[in-house]
Chains A and B, each alone.
Chain A
């Protein structure tokens, strides 16, 4: 009897201890009690600083994808052309992940069904590995045909920054081009311009 009550007592203490460790929050939520973390709208306008931000990335990619779908080499093509993403040079003063812009464009264009993409140089090694693995069951010639492409997308990001004691002005110009690699002809080009102005507070600490 004594040992039984000991076991029940220990179980009750353990249950209390474990419930103390459990996190707070409603159904489907785990938070740290007094946490300041919250989820926000990923597509909301972000104006934390005047640097290149998520809003600029999204707006640029969406505008460029819309523009690309109007190009006659894509819109009027007999079958969706194969495109390869090339480097977009960052000639601005700040770190901008230009691949994030082109990959976002790729994702939009793939959903449209009007363009096909071949693997870009960043993950070509892995693709080749997979191809080598597939050689046992498929003809190499067929697989190799997938690496041919009709056009490449390339471009440049530039910025001009100016500031005085009161105002900081950041101007960005993102230029993208669709190029025929056979002839080096530029078939399409578009520009997204962004101006961001931040005013410094007149009273500071």
Chain B
């Protein structure tokens, strides 16, 4: 009898926790979406759908070369997403100096991947990240 009771309590607790997880992931997704809207003003450009979002961007200089570390998140719960990204590098005058080739990447549902790209010219001081999910 005690076993049935404890089992029932465990099941209820699990259901409640599951609900919290869903709510948390939804909240996290909303926060990421808000951040992306802010980033998309000048730093991130979505060519088409916003299925893959940028959850974090770090910018730093190493040996005089600009480096960008971007973290991508699959905003979809279940589906694996293929996407491509490209970085445009700009100098202090806003001149486009270089672009990387389009990099193909895959991120599984609700997961994140990190990439690091470095400029190969010391005159580069700014960047723009372009993301495309359309095949």
A residues within 8 Å of B by Cβ?
A: 41, 43-45, 47, 55, 58-59, 62, 65-66, 69-70, 75-76, 108-109, 111-114
B84 interface residue (CB < 8 Å to A): yes
B133 interface residue (CB < 8 Å to A): no
A111 and B120 within 8 A (CB): yes
Residues 105-135 of B, flagged 1 when their CB comes within 8 A of A and 0 if not, give 0000000000001101110000000000000
B58 interface residue (CB < 8 Å to A): no
In whole Å, how far is B117's beta carbon from the nearest beta carbon of chain A?
7
- Cα(A112)–Cα(B119), bound, Å: 9
Within 8 A of A (CB), among B44-75: 62-63, 65
A55 and B65 within 8 A (CB): no
- Cα(A175)–Cα(B50), bound, Å: 35
Which residues of chain A have C-beta atoms less than 8 A from B104's C-beta? 45, 47, 55
Count A/B pairs, Cβ under 8 Å. 47
Which residues of chain B have C-beta atoms less than 8 A from A66's C-beta? 117-118, 120
Q: Would you list 25 pairs from A and B whose C-beta atoms are within 8 A, ordered by A residue?
A: A41-B102, A43-B99, A43-B100, A43-B101, A43-B102, A55-B102, A55-B104, A58-B101, A59-B101, A62-B100, A62-B120, A66-B117, A66-B118, A66-B120, A69-B63, A69-B65, A69-B118, A108-B120, A109-B120, A111-B120, A112-B65, A112-B121, A112-B122, A113-B121, A113-B122
Q: A66-B117, A66-B120, A69-B118 are in contact. List 7 more A-B contacts (CB 8 A).
A: A43-B86, A43-B100, A47-B104, A59-B101, A70-B63, A111-B121, A112-B120
B5 interface residue (CB < 8 Å to A): no
- Cα(A70)–Cα(B65), bound, Å: 9
- Cα(A66)–Cα(B124), bound, Å: 14
The chain A residue with its CB closest to the CB of B97 is: A111
A45 and B84 within 8 A (CB): yes
Given A109-B120, A112-B122, A75 and B63 touching (CB < 8 A)? yes
Which residues of chain B have C-beta atoms less than 8 A from A108's C-beta? 120
B63 and A59 within 8 A (CB): no
- Cα(A41)–Cα(B101), bound, Å: 10
- Cα(A75)–Cα(B63), bound, Å: 6
In whole Å, how far is B6's beta carbon from the nearest beta carbon of chain A?
48
Which one of B98, B103, B121 contacts A59 once the chains associate, using CB atoms below 8 Å? B103
Which residues of chain A have C-beta atoms less than 8 A from B86's C-beta? 43
- Cα(A111)–Cα(B122), bound, Å: 9
In whole Å, how far is B96's beta carbon from the nearest beta carbon of chain A?
13
- Cα(A65)–Cα(B117), bound, Å: 11
Those 3 A-B pairs whose CB atoms lie nearest each other, nearest first: A58-B101, A75-B63, A43-B101
